[in-house]
Structure 1
Amino acid sequence: MSAVQEAPESRVDAWFDARGMAPFPFQREVWQAFADGKSGLLHAPTGAGKTYALWLGALLRGMRGQSAPGAGLRVLWITPMRALAADTLRALQAPARDLLPAWNGALRSGDTGSAERARQSKSLPQFLVTTPESLSLLLSMADAAERFARLDAVIVDEWHELLGSKRGVQTQLALARLLTWRPQLLVWGLSATIGNLQQAQAWLPGAADGVLIESRSERRIAIDTLIPDEPGRFPWSGQLGLRMLPQVAAEIDASRSTLVFTNTRAQSELWYQALLEARPDWAGLIALHHGSLDRSVRDWVEAGIGDGSLKAVVCTSSLDLGVDFAPVERVLQIGSAKGVARLLQRAGRSGHAPGRSSRVTLVPTNSLELLEAAAAREAVAERAIEPRLPPNKPLDVLVQHLATAALGGGFLPDAMFEEVRRAPAYRDLSRIEWQWALDFLNRGGASLTAYPEYRRVAPDEHGVWRMSDATLARRHRMNIGTIVSEAGVRVQFLQGGAIGTVDESFVARLSPGDRFLFGGRLLEFVRLHDMTAWVRRAQNGRGAAPRWQGIRTPLSPQLGAAMLEQLAEFAAGRADAADAPELAAIAPLLRLQQRWSALPQPGELVVETLKSRDGWHLFLYPFAGRSVHLGLASLLAWRIARQRPATFSIAVNDYGIELVSPDDIDYAALLGDPVAGTAGVAALLSPADLEIDLAASLNAGELAQRRFREVARIAGLLFTGYPGQKKSNRQLQASSSLFFEVFKKHDPGNLLLAQARREVLEQELDLPRLAATLAALQDWRLRLCSPARVTPFGFALMVERYRERLSTEKLADRIARMLRGLEGAAAKTRGA
């Protein structure tokens, strides 16, 4: 039998066999589901073969003739990051060339050149790799329905990454649109490391009623920790930091290839520079990768990972996903990953191939991260993986999508209402909210009717809502997307060559001649012109790394609970040094905390009161994460101040909170008798009236005004500027504030205002988790302690507070003085 006559399944088996592989059972399950015309969700560990499972299922349909013949798009592959798109396309092209050579593939993302875009405008290939933003751009074309007329399948890669963000909502709306045009469309999601798998499937339009297929093989993951020589008894953020450099360099030296993950771009810049200074012979063998570097730089690094020419790459979440890391032997994580799912994702980048084991080594940046490391290993063993909770009904995304649909052939309101409600995020969208969205697009709502630029969409003579103004259409297409960040300033050499982008707020603080680290180079700032920072190479000296705006990832509930369990094991004397070397390393710290105060336990809230020269201190250790603690500290300060006049300074970290007041406060009287349990603290920690009290305590109006800028940009109120004429962050903030004040005064019922307030509470302050924490604390036992001096856990919080008001040099001096006194007291403490 010739290859052409051979059964498609046999050809696929032969393709695997030629590469020394064999299909896994879960891959065959997916292929059969495709053959049966079923949609669904595939859940499998990183590197287990998910891509081949879904892609070969789609190819088999084409090989069997189940997809429409001829030219035109058949398979749409949606990836969450455009950095992954080129690599994904290469991975799909290899089997397509051998098994279905009539199918051509292409890439459509923000990095796609104008010539390729023009080719795609004439005719789309049989398979297209794209991002949610670029898919929305395609949907905005007047002939969009015709472009997708032959579409057979949509595959959403890394759905767990999209699910919890507005980009996931944008994807839902796009899928609802495609399913309206192609009801028989197959929709599949790819997911790994997620704790709410059933919800993930239910929130993927088209896949909710399909099949759920899971890989039955578990990846072997080894988690270990680099133990510092002297962890110390008094930790603070960054306490260890680059002191771990020699051990990190030794680990890199002993491995063929290593990824060194950091949690921030600034941290990656500092570690890359430090490694080069420690090992100058590694120049050209180690590289830096993060999302603010120029695309050409990132492409070079990814190619070096793929061909094995790089010994190590210092990176951020920009390399969490997707790229084939088969050559990578080791993964190091600088600092805590703060969550089990993120740790598993990064661990999976080593041994990134079916059947291989993965290994991740944790590098603590302060002593308490050793406790986090021990807890993370236990949480991974128990598969305590965090859920990704999807946003509900963001109206800014809806308004943007309706403008896109108005450009992409138009829509009839009643039919569109039903279509939008097929996106799970809008399943309970009311007619009142729907009418508000239409009115907002049609005339700018109640307060912008006098301005033609906000009358964006209107019905034609047939009742079809369209956007007919060419200028507004061009502005909308340039504004599509839900990723909103600080205005980026392009960094470029005077002699040509782009390096990447930094936040405008960082560049605004620079003067000509100032030096800074970026892209692994020491640069000298020359001038700022047209949102471009012109620089030259600096010959010597030192410079600071840029600080990019972003929310610090808080400790997850799963990891916080695991840390409390580890503390309970230690307190009970059950911590085995062989099983938990991290706990053995910080035993002096934990014993001192235990002797001077108490160790937090599951179901027990440790509260410390202390008088120092700073004032009267209150420390609590719920281990609920930074976001929850910020809300909790503000709430406590507000409720205490209502009972008696007082002012407070606040400090929070992932483990606890500190309130300090210059006023004499009897915290013990406020909290009640510890023998009586939590009765005395119940009112202060009650979830009753939470939203009202929290909004008052945090000046939520000011926070909402800042948040409104993001909402306004997504909804199309703010235009960021044409290429080469981008508006500055100051201009955008001024415009946003003007809209906010106009709506508040003339249109107080504007639903975008309500959304901004809700997002501040739910996302920045994690209101649902704060409410759950307060409800749980009602059942916890209160352990009230009055130590004579600040404890190890409290010391970390005091340093956080000082950090806000002291320079780096002054902070270092203050820490040194405090440590001398505390270490002297600890040495005198028997058994410490």
Structure 2
Amino acid sequence: MSDASDPPFPSEINNWFAGREWRVRSHQRDMFAAAGRGHHALLVADTGAGKTLAGFLPTLADFCPSGLGGAALPVGLHTLYVSPLKALAHDVQRNLLTPVEEMGIDVRIETRSGDTPSDRKKRQRSKPPNILLTTPESLSLLLSYPDSGELFAGLKRIVIDEIHAFATGKRGDLLALALSRLQAISPQLQRVALSATVAEPEAFRAWLAPWGDIDAVELVEGEKGAPPEVEILLPEEQRVPWGGHAAIWAIPQLFEKIRANKTTLVFTNTRFLAEFIFQHLWDVNDENLPIGIHHGSLSKEARRKVEGAMARGELRALVATASLDLGVDWGDIDCVVQMGAPKGSSRLLQRIGRANHRLDQPSRALLVPGNRFEFLEATAAKEAVDEGQRDGEAFRRGGLDVLAQHVMARACAGPFDEAEMLAEVRSSLSYAWIDSSIWQRILNFVATGGYALKAYDKFRRITRERDGTWRLTHPEYAARHRLNAGIIIDSEMLDVRFKNGRSLGRVEERFAASLSPGDTFAFAGTSLEVMGIKDMEITVRASSKSAMIPSYGGARMPLTTHLAERVREMLIDRAGWARFPDDVREWLEMQDWRSQMPGPGQLLVESFPHAAREYSVYYTFEGWNANQSLGMLITRRMEDLGLRPGGFVANDYSLAVWGLKPVRDPRPLLSPDILDHEFIEWIQESHLLRRAFREVAVIAGLVDRQHPGKRKTGKQVTFSTDLIYDVLRKYEPDHVLLEAAWADARANMTDVGRLGALLDRAAGELVHVELDRVSPMAVPVMVMMGRENVPQGAVDDDLLLEAESLAHAAMRLDAPMEREGD
């Protein structure tokens, strides 16, 4: 907390606040005071609380003439601002320039990201701005240049915005290593982190601090703002749907909301749904209201155009993905809409904060569930937000592939001493676990590729001198590293361009492979006809024909454990069902009467016949990844037990498995030893470990995606990594990248932690109910059977008819019958 002994603000800052008739918030004073004491700081404050300004006030004070006492202005790079999104960095630049100009401060502010022109990047290294706004990847690349020591020698502060969004993942690993390097270059560097949705501040303080010294980081809590106003949209003359995720039923009502509001921001969870919802909104937009679309696959020009239009208040609505759900400050947005399930209370709170971006005014939000389980999830998220409860991902060990990339970047900057660098790496909490043995394995991999690959010169990137220092084997490896470095591994993409060369963005290679000249697809809000496909580019022209929408294979947003537990509690809170719509309440009441409710700590399994097959539905609430993994393991065991499995389908809430013989006792299918035997065999045989290896091999620099003037196709990268994978599996099974791939496959692709918790629950509290027909709660997952590869949102008439048929059977009022043989 600040007190009377803390330094006052310079007059320029005081006068600026007074001119705006604003008061300085207590957390802004506390952040200024922490900087004055030379401390690192973590600020947790509500959206609209002026967090970004709080992070920058000490920097601006250093450039105020009244505080300099006649001394010269600071020169060179003074403050770094790191954000997870390019759009956020550009938005902050807009919102910083105004106060800087109005205060009359002479400070130069620039951005640097993958969108920045190469000539500007080069100039920024020789003549850096005072404040540089960047991303973790661009910062890591800056540190790979020989002049990085000189560039960052005078660095005073680093401000990390929206720290919750990336600190727990691989981008956080990369940033943690960059922080350690910057601290070594500039020991007096102050670290500052900002967030509105940190669930466990102590964990983030430890991550932010050098050597994990939590006492070195002050926790500053912001003033409380007006509570958000969250509503759940329900159908006016129809029921909440049984299945589907797109919530197309809501389009007419949503358009009326857009008409009534000044500006509405509509969030979707995927790029496919963004294009899908935009197209449906445009179909009912007879008034030609200006509506835009924004997602990460659109071109830089398209994204900047819509961002500028929003900033100027020219759009009535904008449909977007996570590309805009962090920190973007557009004060004229008066309503945020979440299409489909929010998946977490912190994510929802972050998105809600885009509306009425002011601390003293409530943000308005509308949740639009796609189906009945999503209605329960939306209700759980709304109540969590109302109670101020946040959730988020836990920290885990830093990735070895990221460490390998950092070692290569360090070598590109110049020779390094291995003992000194190990100490630097271990000063980060993410890599404090690295011992000398693991360190030598990493160095050996970067130097030779590992035992099985050391005969190939292409993998010899660094070499060790007699005095213990390491250096590049050839300068060309530095250029290759900078061309290929990065953490975000998307599917391979093809550029979409008009004949005149104007870029619209990119679509995935997998989708492009399905196209031929004359085909049409909807992209960037426009119907496009394919004129030709050559190399990595699709040439198109505008079309008036109906068009399909590109599908994307990106990672699914996981249902948080916190929301899953809330939904479970709702299911057994029978008195609380009265607040639900009639059809949802009747659905739960019929489930309770016909079968049973899965309570907290329980695993409910229902078995029943349907359409000449035998089904079992497992109500796990552990998310799609864990359910998908469980489905693979259960079908393997069913095969071994002679139950003749046919397939399975999963969503976030449940798993449905079918076969030709009934499951009389699911316990043998769910014993915890399944993770010791079948899980390992399945992972090794499946595509998952190969896919994980492909990603870590690219991140670690074993395989290049790009060469000067040419980019490899996805097939070429896959072919290269699959060959190396097979060699390592056979000749060096303990290779450091196989270890990294296993860690990724277990944590990210299979959610083995949640899977283990599920199996433990099954061992203790498994409830098996045998029914004569499908249960009401099974309908949402059953309607997905046979359609698991259909893009979310592509709900057709057949699906709706099948849902009605299943629902009719599940909701019939006749008493349940005993199954034959019971």
Structure 1-normalised TM-score? 0.92
| Partner residue in 2 for 1:271 | 277
CA gap 1:166/1:219 in 2 versus in 1, 3 angstroms: farther
Alignment of 1:348-363 (within 5 A): 348-363=353-368
| Partner residue in 2 for 1:133 | 137
Confirm or deny that 1:566 pairs with 2:570.
Answer: yes
Greater Cα shift, 492-501 or 795-804: 795-804
| Partner residue in 2 for 1:677 | none
Q: Distance in 1 between matches of 2:366 and 2:673?
A: 43
Q: Distance in 1 between matches of 2:43 and 2:8?
A: 25
What SS does the corresponding residue of 1:802 show, helix, strand or coil? coil
Greater Cα shift, 271-280 or 93-102: 93-102
Q: Distance in 2 between matches of 1:233 and 1:220?
A: 27
- By how many angstroms is 1:307 displaced? 1.5
CA gap 1:802/1:435 in 2 versus in 1, 3 angstroms: same
Confirm or deny that 1:712 pairs with 2:714.
Answer: no
**Any conservation in 1 of the 2:521–2:547 contact (CA below 8 Å)?**
yes
Q: Distance in 1 between matches of 2:806 and 2:705?
A: 53
Instruction: Give per-residue Cα distances to partners, 1:682-739, cap 9 Å, x unaligned.
Output: x543434624332234555531011111100011111112365211110110011011
| Partner residue in 2 for 1:675 | none
Instruction: Give per-residue Cα distances to partners, 1:563-621, cap 9 Å, x unaligned.
Output: 1122222x3x34343xxxx4445122222322322232323433211122342111121
- By how many angstroms is 1:97 displaced? 3.4
**Any conservation in 2 of the 1:234–1:792 contact (CA below 8 Å)?**
no
**Any conservation in 2 of the 1:233–1:792 contact (CA below 8 Å)?**
no
Confirm or deny that 1:479 pairs with 2:487.
Answer: no
Q: Distance in 2 between matches of 1:735 and 1:376?
A: 44
What SS does the corresponding residue of 2:672 show, helix, strand or coil? coil
- 1:755 partner amino acid: A
CA gap 1:123/1:798 in 2 versus in 1, 3 angstroms: same
| Partner residue in 2 for 1:31 | 32
Confirm or deny that 1:466 pairs with 2:509.
Answer: no
Alignment of 1:510-521 (within 5 A): 510-521=515-526
- 2:228 partner amino acid: I
Q: Distance in 1 between matches of 2:39 and 2:63?
A: 15
CA gap 1:809/1:47 in 2 versus in 1, 3 angstroms: closer
| Partner residue in 2 for 1:281 | 287
| Partner residue in 2 for 1:546 | 550
Confirm or deny that 1:143 pairs with 2:147.
Answer: yes
Alignment of 1:114-263 (within 5 A): 114-206=118-210, 208=214, 209-229=216-236, 232=239, 235-238=242-245, 241-263=247-269
Q: Distance in 2 between matches of 1:484 and 1:150?
A: 33
Q: Distance in 2 between matches of 1:435 and 1:463?
A: 12
Which of 84, 88, 92 is equivalent to 1:84? 88
Q: Distance in 2 between matches of 1:46 and 1:785?
A: 46
CA gap 1:566/1:344 in 2 versus in 1, 3 angstroms: same
Greater Cα shift, 441-450 or 596-605: 596-605
Q: Distance in 2 between matches of 1:822 and 1:405?
A: 61
**Count of aligned residue pairs for this structure pair:** 803
- 1:259 partner amino acid: L
Instruction: Give per-residue Cα distances to partners, 1:522-551, cap 9 Å, x unaligned.
Output: 000111112010001112x21111011112
- By how many angstroms is 1:212 displaced? 0.8
Greater Cα shift, 272-281 or 791-800: 791-800
Which of 792, 800, 815 is equivalent to 2:784? 800
Confirm or deny that 1:110 pairs with 2:114.
Answer: yes
**Any conservation in 2 of the 1:47–1:352 contact (CA below 8 Å)?**
yes
CA RMSD of the aligned region, Å?
2.5
Q: Distance in 2 between matches of 1:723 and 1:456?
A: 18
Confirm or deny that 1:620 pairs with 2:618.
Answer: yes
| Partner residue in 1 for 2:4 | none
Q: Distance in 2 between matches of 1:554 and 1:150?
A: 41
- By how many angstroms is 1:437 displaced? 1.0
- By how many angstroms is 1:812 displaced? 4.0
| Partner residue in 1 for 2:599 | 601
Q: Distance in 2 between matches of 1:339 and 1:556?
A: 5
- 2:778 partner amino acid: G
Q: Distance in 1 between matches of 2:58 and 2:612?
A: 66
**Any conservation in 1 of the 2:528–2:541 contact (CA below 8 Å)?**
yes
What SS does the corresponding residue of 1:302 show, helix, strand or coil? helix
Which of 747, 750, 755 is equivalent to 2:740? 755
Q: Distance in 1 between matches of 2:705 and 2:629?
A: 32
CA gap 1:7/1:244 in 2 versus in 1, 3 angstroms: closer
**Any conservation in 2 of the 1:13–1:22 contact (CA below 8 Å)?**
no
Greater Cα shift, 426-435 or 803-812: 803-812
Identity of aligned residues (%): 34
| Partner residue in 2 for 1:819 | 804
| Partner residue in 2 for 1:676 | none
CA gap 1:724/1:247 in 2 versus in 1, 3 angstroms: farther
- By how many angstroms is 1:817 displaced? 5.0
- By how many angstroms is 1:778 displaced? 3.9
| Partner residue in 1 for 2:510 | 505
**Any conservation in 1 of the 2:460–2:473 contact (CA below 8 Å)?**
no
Which of 343, 349, 356 is equivalent to 2:348? 343
Confirm or deny that 1:385 pairs with 2:397.
Answer: no
- 2:319 partner amino acid: V
Greater Cα shift, 587-596 or 107-116: 587-596
Greater Cα shift, 196-205 or 482-491: 196-205
- By how many angstroms is 1:770 displaced? 1.8
CA gap 1:613/1:191 in 2 versus in 1, 3 angstroms: same
What SS does the corresponding residue of 1:771 show, helix, strand or coil? helix
- 1:623 partner amino acid: F
Instruction: Give per-residue Cα distances to partners, 1:788-820, cap 9 Å, x unaligned.
Output: 221222122222222047899997436525624
Q: Distance in 2 between matches of 1:486 and 1:418?
A: 35
Q: Distance in 2 between matches of 1:343 and 1:7?
A: 37
Greater Cα shift, 240-249 or 28-37: 240-249
| Partner residue in 1 for 2:542 | 537
What SS does the corresponding residue of 1:362 show, helix, strand or coil? strand
CA gap 1:628/1:701 in 2 versus in 1, 3 angstroms: closer
- 1:819 partner amino acid: E
**Any conservation in 2 of the 1:45–1:219 contact (CA below 8 Å)?**
no
Q: Distance in 2 between matches of 1:521 and 1:615?
A: 44
Which of 589, 592, 597 is equivalent to 1:591? 589
What SS does the corresponding residue of 1:282 show, helix, strand or coil? coil
- By how many angstroms is 1:179 displaced? 0.7
| Partner residue in 1 for 2:98 | 94
Q: Distance in 2 between matches of 1:72 and 1:811?
A: 59
Q: Distance in 2 between matches of 1:535 and 1:418?
A: 53
Q: Distance in 1 between matches of 2:610 and 2:55?
A: 62
- 1:94 partner amino acid: T
Q: Distance in 2 between matches of 1:805 and 1:121?
A: 47
Q: Distance in 1 between matches of 2:219 and 2:773?
A: 56
What SS does the corresponding residue of 1:142 show, helix, strand or coil? coil
Q: Distance in 2 between matches of 1:813 and 1:701?
A: 32
Q: Distance in 1 between matches of 2:237 and 2:510?
A: 38
- By how many angstroms is 1:230 displaced? 5.3
Q: Distance in 2 between matches of 1:454 and 1:574?
A: 62
CA gap 1:212/1:591 in 2 versus in 1, 3 angstroms: same
Q: Distance in 2 between matches of 1:85 and 1:247?
A: 34
Confirm or deny that 1:394 pairs with 2:394.
Answer: no
**Any conservation in 2 of the 1:393–1:429 contact (CA below 8 Å)?**
no
Q: Distance in 2 between matches of 1:234 and 1:654?
A: 17
- 1:55 partner amino acid: F
| Partner residue in 2 for 1:678 | none
Q: Distance in 2 between matches of 1:798 and 1:468?
A: 58
CA gap 1:640/1:164 in 2 versus in 1, 3 angstroms: same
Alignment of 1:489-504 (within 5 A): 489-504=494-509
CA gap 1:825/1:397 in 2 versus in 1, 3 angstroms: closer
| Partner residue in 1 for 2:820 | none
- 2:461 partner amino acid: R
What SS does the corresponding residue of 1:495 show, helix, strand or coil? coil
Structure 2-normalised TM-score? 0.93
Q: Distance in 2 between matches of 1:805 and 1:124?
A: 49
Q: Distance in 2 between matches of 1:527 and 1:234?
A: 40
What SS does the corresponding residue of 1:586 show, helix, strand or coil? helix
Q: Distance in 2 between matches of 1:651 and 1:686?
A: 21
